[in-house]
A and B are shown apart, each in its own frame.
Chain A
Amino acid sequence: MSVFNQSRQNVIRLTFAVMFVVIIARLFSLQVISSKYKIMADDQGKFRKVVYPDRGIVYDRHNNVLLQNTTIYDLMLAPNKLKGVDTLAMCRILDIDTAQFNKRVVELIIKNGRTRPSVFEPLLSDSKMAMLNEVMYKFAPAFYLQERSVRSYPYDAAANVLGYTAEVDTNFLKKHKDEGYVSGDYAGMTGIERSYEKVLMGVRGIEYWKRDNKNRLTEKLENGKFDTAAIAGQNMHTSIDIELQELGEKLMQNKLGSIVALDPRTGGILAMVSAPTYKPKFLSGSERRKHFSELFLNPALPLLNRTVGATYSPGSTFKTLQALIGLHEGVINTHFKVACSGAFYGCGTGKPKCLDKGVFDLRGAITVSDNTYFATVMQKVINNPKYPTIDSSLSNWDRYMYAFGLGHRLGVDVPAEKKGFIPTADYFNSPKRYGEGRWNYCNFVSVSIGQGEVNVTPLQVANEMAYIANKGWYKTPHVVDSIEGGDKFNMLAAFKEQHNAIDIPDSVFEAVHDGMEGVVERGTGLGAKVEGISICGKTGTVENYIGLVKQPNHAFFCGFAPRDNPKIAIMCVVENSGKFGGTYAAPIVGLMIEKYLKDSITGTARLAQVEQLSNLNLIPARIYAAIKTQDSLRHLKDSAYMVAKGYLKGIKDTMELEQDDESDLLDKIKKDADSTTKKELPKKDSNNNLPGMNTDAVLPNEKRKTEPKDTVKN
């Protein structure tokens, strides 16, 4: 009977076949044509895990390790396994209450979900770690420990030079957009950790992992076929002498100020002490949370590297440079004598005064630091008839200053270097200052003795000593001498270059050396004297003001040793110590030189002097007052309170580097004197405080009382 419907079998076959063709066509479009599903699959099924290499190790000049890596642990939690865990015991170990515990768990679940392990307590301290280690099995598998590499500092010294690493903030990410940083990464924030970040960070590795539907990493994709290995950061050798650095920090205890010691032949920095400082481990690993805001808020600014980030009037240390200019310009010779009857009357004001009355030649004037002599020398330089206008003669003087390494950044490899200030004709010509043609030498006579409109950093002073020691050249001061595995980023080439912009004959330097040797042998710097070493030095006693209120003098001492074939150029400043440069700064320099050249300080008297100087407290009273005010504000230990109350405009972790270009100043100094172009730059610089830090309370912008437009607020 079914014969009638025989043909229907083909209809059925066709129907079946058509349906399968439709399915295969759809599969073709899904699998071959469309690429969207492959991308989606990679997004959810694969995970690109970044493997962080160890940061490079930093050595000092004797191959002592200054900075290395150590392992610390994060406490991890997988919230879905929390059931049955003795949370109370965990609370007790971590020293939190159950409410905090629950809050943290909820936060983690919101952030990363239930099944994915997240960091419950980062960077466990040693004591918590010790407690946890024994009982960790009780908390498994909900809690476990995860290793992390952090920086460790074998010496409790050189914090400001080495710097610290910290988690990058949004600002940092914005600036380093294409360098592969992601939030949560650590990067060098200050010191050479920052300037050599590229060298130290190494090359990150990438591992590809499979990920499951709960976002857990299950296994490596194809057994790691596509992975790239991480390459550790390069190790660096520095010129720091860690023992000298430690001695320097010891001597500068309980003081504000700096010591910078250089090897004049190489420009390598031997010691770079900024006081007060902090223990570098305070800003690493688990300690950081405890100490950062305290250090940040401290009115004495321990986080500021004063050696490059603070500027002072150089005081009498400036006179050596005036002598060089005077001799080389030919306005005086070594036998040129000036009589001092108590003051400089060249401008009719009786200023500046001089302390030692008498008649001095160049050497003698340096030795006793005679103000009148150098006021006269500079007057001769500025009013030299060889130059048609005062603009051109001042510009000529600026040229010398620039050659000596002043008025511009030296280019040291420690970040946040300031450029200081050297007055230019344009600066005085500015209508806001005196106006064109309305000024003469007498308006800035105090510059001749290193007061008034001149600012330098301690590093610049030390470098200027290296320049004098080398008789006319210097190499850019630097901390890092060499990089293991080669200088791939060409960061060290600039330090090999010798700077001698103006060729001054050795005989000129000999005269200045004579005078400087006299300073230590019989002059104002007797305190620096070291048995058996010929030291050339110069004291400085710098008057300074906060607003119009005179503060105790800064004590300066700079010098180099030994006189022949010098091995160390050094400067020391003790802020607001009162008295004279020779009183506090000179003995500190003497001890540093002895330590470096003789390898150790010998003799009970000398050792006693070390102890006595390190115990001496010269921190000015205003710092204590500021601390007291701050403490009374800080009801809660919480810095958030201060932010909320408006005492603090939010904590900024990184110190901003000054990015503005200094090339225009360079141009300016090279330019001929009768250039009429006006530049705003020097003016702006003179009022420039440390950006990013509220420093005015501590570091006074040194101003003369005579200046009419003094608006520095404190």
Chain B
Amino acid sequence: MAKVLEQATTTPYTTISGRPIEPLYGPVDSASVDYARDLGDPGQFPYTRGVHQTMYRGKVWTMRQFAGFGSASQTNERFKYLLAHGSHGLSVAFDLPTLMGRDPDHPLSLGEVGKCGVAITSLADMETLFDGIPLADVTTSMTINSPAAMMLAFYILVGEKQGVPQAKLAGTVQADILKEFIAQKEYIYPPRQSMRIVVDMIRYCTEHMPKWNSISISGYHIREAGSTAAQELAFTLRDGIEYVQWCVDAGMNVDDFAPRLSFFFNSHSDFFEEIAKFRAARRIWARTMKERFHAQNPRSWMLRFHTQTAGVSLTAQQPYNNVVRTALQALAGVLGGTQSLHTNSLDEALALPTEEAVTIALRTQQVIAHESGVVNTADPLGGSYFVEKLTNDIEAEALEYFRKIDAMGGMVPAIERGFPQREIQEAAFQFQKAVERKEKIIVGVNEYVMDEKPFSILYIDESVAEEQGARVKQLRETRDAACVDRALRELKRVAGTTDNLMYPILEAARAYATLGEMCDALREAFGEYEEPPVF
């Protein structure tokens, strides 16, 4: 008995991020927490317990399933299916040529058209994508970064054609270019030129689109690239600081744009560490906005966020186990106070999800919302010795990263030095080693392995590439070529000034310039970024 007790107290137990955890937490661990200063009631500064007074009693989170594959008309059908089955909002996944600002007939688009998401080459595709979906009645999130301004222009113009003014459009473009350099690597232009595009877009949204979230500052991809929970938190919020600083430096008033900044986090498998991360995120952001940027409007202090369960945690082995992983991660997101949620489908380690798999993922959220009872009260884990201690610890770790990055001169210089990239790469390698040494168990991968039957997946063939190539060829033949040329020349000219790029982008989009053509105009003006290939 004594031996068992000794083992239980001396064996190192760590979170998935490698954070040591004690066998028991008690009053001493959360003694430093001052309720009014550090927690506050839900809806009160510093919002550790949530941004709304009544949390999910007032309204449950938005169930927003990320979807997109093949052609615009195929994805349009999936959107209508999701809306008919209880999804509250749309979330568009684009294919890689679209994300990288390449037309489908560019050589680097070989094999990529319509594979990872929907192919959107011009305003014509965007019109098809939202055909029969009134933009006045839905909110739409668009996961796109380097060409975010062009995609926002397409969306505004579809709204215009439907008779919905841009001031009434609600949704988000991701537009978080910093985390592209740090993690997902879908950048086009160098960091400083990329930041200029983001600032122009935030200014445009602030002036014309009061219901639109101008940016979704994202930790999701940082985590997927292999960061720890604290690194995800630190780099995401430090990215947020960088955007605010650039906008302020560009002459904007913080309270004019900050209420429309939104965030996006990963919910990974380590249940309590994730909940602590979400709580710490709200507290850090509230204090940063108030103390560092002197924001006066409470809405500027509030960190509102979307959550997606961890794609990287899904296993190709025994895929049904992924339903369980996703349910636990989704629950952590809800207990952490998320405003909107995407649950991954069980087959996503293998392919884009089938309709059946997506339905189970959506039902998972509905079970949590309507059956588990967790929506009945706000921040049910607030005051837990363990959760409060974890919240403090993860906050301290994030603030230490802030100090390092501030000392480098901010996030752009830190990225240029490869700092966050190296930190993530190292954490990813250490995790892989821990899995291979079986210090971390992944059910069905390094333990509880068994022979399996083949699994049926969604398969996207090369026909989409051919159709999309034909569509763009036809578009180029039928549009007013002189008008397109003029608009593209104007876009390139404005790139050389300090005027807002959104206006020439809107005009080029209206003339049916393709996404690749618009991005090429800016490539000529700004150059392209290449990361040093280090590993």
Q: Do A and B come from one complex?
A: no
B residues with a Cβ closer than 8 A to A are: none
